[in-house]
A and B are shown apart, each in its own frame.
Chain A
Amino acid sequence: MSPARTLQICLLFGSSSLLSFGGGNAVIPQIQLRAVHTYGWITAEQFSQAFAIAQAAPGPSTLLVSAIGYQAGGIPGALLATAAMILPAWVLVYFAARFWLGAKRSRWRIAIEEGLAPIAIGLILASAIVIARSTDHGPMQYVLTVIATLVFCAVKLNPLWVMGACGLTGWALAM
């Protein structure tokens, strides 16, 4: 990896890390623009494939940047891109957590925790809706979603069994 490319990786992902308000997906348009069009590390098609793989693979989907770093500079590029994407936000969140947890359990802190809970639930529901919409849900997938939701709510069992069953159903029905 040339020094110039090392610097480009650090700057692109480091700045994206601090700008990713509202989650990692917020900066994907910017990363796509730079990685595909400005620096030419990766084609637009490869970028979309990397996006799909990062979504489907276990773990946070922000690890898309590992795949892009890999295309830009092999394994060192992948490690550098991941570190650049995580470290700046890490420092910020760590100190925010320290501050929040260190604050006394005052009436205000309880009010903030309980007052924000309904909003958090609304955001989780919204993410389910956005995911369902963005992944090309057909009628079969909606039916499967409803069935799986009922199973998750009604039965206390390891969710991995339901995930496995849904994956098999997808394969059997070739949705």
Chain B
Amino acid sequence: MSEAATPGPGGVGGSGHPGLWELARTFNTISLASFGGGLSAWSREIVVMRRGWMTETEFLSAMTICRLLPGANQVNVAIFVGARMHGPGGAAAAVAGLIAIPFVIIVALCAFATRYQHVGAVQHVLAGLTPAAVALTLSMVWQTGRKTLRSMVPFALCVATTLAAAVLRVPLWATMLVLGPVGVFWSYRQPAPAHPGASG
């Protein structure tokens, strides 16, 4: 809690580049925090809010690009952030930090799956953890949405995307193909310095 400092305006990248070990350690923290889910919310919490490595907009655009590319979204985000901070080594360090300990945990748990599968307490704790993971994700929507959805067009785009992805289950590429250009065109037509964090 003591290190929960928000990045100053325009202070992106100003804190210097973290080393490889620092990257691996940070993504290990993100990974271990996501017990029960909510990995993308944790990534934002730590990369944007605590470390101030990226601005809100930069992180959101990285997330969108990572969703469009093949691969697990959160692994892709780690590669993206690692590459942004420290080149190919950084991308490798971030992924290694993200998956090393979970790999050991998952393989160990599966090897002993039969021993755990009928333990009621484990199931009940997990049943409580899922709402927490969903809640963390919802709070991320609230926190980023409050800053980003400040007029009708972005708000409508957000609602349309949610409906397409969660209710109609439209494939992601189709959603992006239709809504992506609308968003970019709208943003391009806005008066010049639309976002304070965009310069730098």
Residues of A within 8 A of B (CB): 17-24, 46, 49-50, 53-64, 66-67, 70-71, 75, 78, 82, 85-86, 88-90, 92-94, 96-98, 100-101, 105, 107-108, 110-132, 135, 137, 141-142, 144-149, 151-153, 156-160, 162-163, 165-171, 173-175
Apart from A115-B186, A119-B157, A122-B160, what 7 extra A-B contacts exist at CB < 8 Å?
A: A54-B106, A58-B102, A66-B107, A125-B138, A145-B131, A145-B138, A163-B36
- Shortest beta-carbon contacts, A-B, top 6: A170-B128, A59-B102, A122-B161, A89-B71, A148-B135, A115-B183
If A89-B70, A110-B198 touch, does A118 touch B135 (CB 8 Å cutoff)? no
Question: Does A96 lie within 8 Å of B69, measured CB to CB?
Answer: yes
**Which chain A residue lies CB-closest to B173?**
A21
Which A residues are in CB contact (< 8 Å) with B144? 117, 121, 124
Could you give 11 example pairs across A and B, Cβ below 8 Å? A93-B69, A97-B62, A115-B182, A117-B64, A122-B159, A141-B131, A152-B138, A159-B132, A163-B129, A166-B128, A171-B124
Question: Does B110 lie within 8 Å of A49, measured CB to CB?
Answer: yes
B69, B75, B105: the one contacting A58 at CB < 8 Å is B105
If A66-B106, A128-B138 touch, does A49 touch B131 (CB 8 Å cutoff)? no
Which A residues are in CB contact (< 8 Å) with B58? 113
The dominant DSSP class at the A interface is helix
Q: Whole-angstrom distance between the alpha carbons of A66 and B100 in the complex?
A: 11
Which B residues are in CB contact (< 8 Å) with A107? 188, 192
Interface residues of B in 166-196 (CB under 8 A from A): 166-167, 171-173, 175-176, 179-180, 182-188, 190, 192, 194-195
Residues of B within 8 A of A (CB): 1, 4, 31-42, 45, 57-58, 60-76, 79-80, 83-84, 88, 91-92, 95, 98-99, 101-103, 105-107, 109-111, 113, 117, 120-121, 124-145, 148-149, 153-155, 157-162, 164-167, 171-173, 175-176, 179-180, 182-188, 190, 192, 194-195, 198-199
The dominant DSSP class at the B interface is helix
Question: Does B102 lie within 8 Å of A57, measured CB to CB?
Answer: yes
Which A residues are in CB contact (< 8 Å) with B155? 118
A53, A86, A122, A142: the one contacting B165 at CB < 8 Å is A122
Question: Does B161 lie within 8 Å of A60, measured CB to CB?
Answer: no
B64, B70, B153: the one contacting A18 at CB < 8 Å is B70
Question: Does A126 lie within 8 Å of B35, measured CB to CB?
Answer: no
If A121-B144, A141-B131 touch, does A21 touch B70 (CB 8 Å cutoff)? yes
Q: Whole-angstrom distance between the alpha carbons of A156 and B185 in the complex?
A: 36
Q: Whole-angstrom distance between the alpha carbons of A166 and B36 in the complex?
A: 11
Q: Whole-angstrom distance between the alpha carbons of A128 and B142 in the complex?
A: 12
Name the distance in Å between A104's Cβ and chain B's nearest Cβ. 13
Question: Does A120 lie within 8 Å of B107, measured CB to CB?
Answer: no
Question: Does A131 lie within 8 Å of B130, measured CB to CB?
Answer: yes
Question: Does B83 lie within 8 Å of A97, measured CB to CB?
Answer: yes
If A58-B34, A122-B165 touch, does A153 touch B139 (CB 8 Å cutoff)? yes
A22, A120, A144, A160: the one contacting B63 at CB < 8 Å is A120
Name the distance in Å between A158's Cβ and chain B's nearest Cβ. 6
